[in-house]
Amino acid sequence: MATVYVFNGPNLNLLGLREPQVYGSDTLADVEQMCARRCEALGLQLDFRQTNHEGELVTWLHEAGRAQSQGQAIGTVLNAGAYTHTSVALHDAIKGASVTLIELHISNVHAREAFRHHSYISPAAKAVMAGFGVAGYALAIQGLHDLSAH
Ligand code: CA2
């Protein structure tokens, strides 16, 4: 069974606990369950993680790229949190590891502060999803599945 990776960056462990007006009231554990349900329906194996450390995301992207190159994974959904707007290291990791990557944001970053409008992830991503709330995670998994089937 092929794996889909879902990686979450800094502060996303606070999901549902703070700022519900921006990010909704579902917790990250709720999001993992939604992703698990979608993966089960699609016959995929879910590997869902969160870290507050940039270098750990880099290491995980390398791991995801290796699994994909060995035919064991179809790609990665990444909500890099605020590292989206700052991290050349994540850009380089996605390119270097040749990961098929969906950049995911819960909020519509383009309707928010100007500093959220630029992404270092987007030029290295296959697709970008923003503004669907936490439902975007399942949509992104579906998108990776549909891409891999063509
Ligand atoms: O909309 C998104 O998913 C973001 O990636 C979330 C990041 C933000 O820096 C990006 O600009 C957009 C923030 C993640 C922090 O999540 C929190 C959740 C609840 C309470 C506080 C932070």
Residue 150 has pLDDT above 80, yes or no: no
Angle at 42 between CA 93 and CA 127, to 5 degrees: 35
Could you give the 3-state DSSP secondary structure of residue 11?
coil
CA 65, CA 148: separation in Å to the nearest integer? 15
Instruction: Kindly report, residue by residue over 123-146, the tens digit of the pLDDT.
Output: 999 999 999 999 999 999 999 999
Nearest ligand 1 atom to the CA of 11 is 15
Choosing from 8, 23, 84 the residue with most ligand 1 atoms within 8 A of its CB, the one to mutate for a pocket test is 23
For ligand 1, is residue 52 a contact (CB within 6 Å)? no
- How many domains, in total, are found in the chain? 1
- pTM attached to this predicted model: 0.98
State the pLDDT confidence band at 118, using cuts at 50, 70 and 90: very high
Which pLDDT belongs to residue 93?
A: 98
Instruction: Kindly report, residue by residue over 61-116, the tens digit of the pLDDT.
Output: 999 999 999 999 999 999 999 999 999 999 999 999 999 999 999 999 999 999 99
Rounded to an integer, the average pLDDT of 33-48 is 98
Domain that holds residue 19: 3-148
Q: Which helix (H) or strand (E) holds 47?
A: strand 45-50
State the pLDDT confidence band at 16, using cuts at 50, 70 and 90: very high
Which pLDDT belongs to residue 18?
A: 85
CA nearest to 139, candidates 115, 108, 92, 104: 104
Distance 30 CA to ligand 1 centre (A): 16
Could you give the 3-state DSSP secondary structure of residue 105?
strand
Evaluate whether 14 touches 47 at the Cβ level (below 8 Å): no
State the pLDDT confidence band at 59, using cuts at 50, 70 and 90: very high
- What is the CATH classification number for the domain harbouring 136? 3.40.50.9100
Which pLDDT belongs to residue 99?
A: 98
Question: Any idea what DSSP says for residue 133?
Answer: T
